[in-house]
Amino acid sequence: MRKAASMLELIIAIVVMGIAVMTLPILLLKTQSNNAYTLQQEIILAARTKMGDTLTYRWDEHSLVDDKIFVLKTNGDSELNATIASGFIRRIGHVKGDKRRRFSPDLNSSTPVANLGPDGGDLDDIDDFDGRVDTLELSPQTTSLDYHFTDFNLTTKVVYISDNANYNATNLNFTFDTNASTTTSSIKMLTLKVAGPNSIPFTVRSYSCNIGESELLRKAY
């Protein structure tokens, strides 16, 4: 008597193979979804990195005077106007002291709303990035996948927003408004829009304020 698979064993083997074949598309779809999600997270990280890099630049073209970043005059909330007391040009919240945050000696004004954007081809303050488009290029190996993401554009927009608040209140409550202000203020909003041909665009926002900087103390040798 020869050894051979019974009809029942053959049916069981066919069923198992059928189940395995049926799950292959599901596994491939899940792998594709995971790859797409990973790439999206990489793009979000790139956008956050770009935003963080932009925020390292000084607040305005006129902020830097004698290698120090000063507070500038704006047409925002009048409570933030400069006051002169005891020889110091300060505003509410400033500490009187030689090396503390203060207005520039000649009371420079910030860049007008209409002049925000690149000036002279240099990148030395945050509004120089206004209208700038950077491309996040994907390698051919990446774009050859089934979901076929293509290159992404990172478009930066810089505007003034309202800085109105009750700065004399004991507890300061402030709500950031995403609408562009028609006048200069002490707050600039940076908007980074990320878009690709085959993806849903998303936006990253951050804010930079007209606060100047304190001068670092140096040890004399």
Residue pair 60/78 in contact (Cβ under 8 Å)? The answer is no
In this prediction, residue 210 has a pLDDT band, given cuts at 50, 70 and 90, of: very high
Q: What mean pLDDT comes out for the span 170-176?
A: 84
Q: What is the pLDDT of residues 135-171, one digit of tens each?
A: 877 655 544 444 445 678 889 999 999 999 898 888 8
pLDDT tops 60 at residue 97: yes
Label residues 93-130 b or e (16+ Cβ within 10 Å = b): ebeeeeeebbbbeeebebbeeeebeeeeeeeebbbbbb
Q: What is the pLDDT of residues 25-83, one digit of tens each?
A: 776 666 666 666 777 777 788 888 889 999 999 999 999 888 888 999 999 999 999 88
Per-residue pLDDT at 29: 67
Per-residue pLDDT at 144: 47
Q: Where are the domains of the chain?
A: 58-209
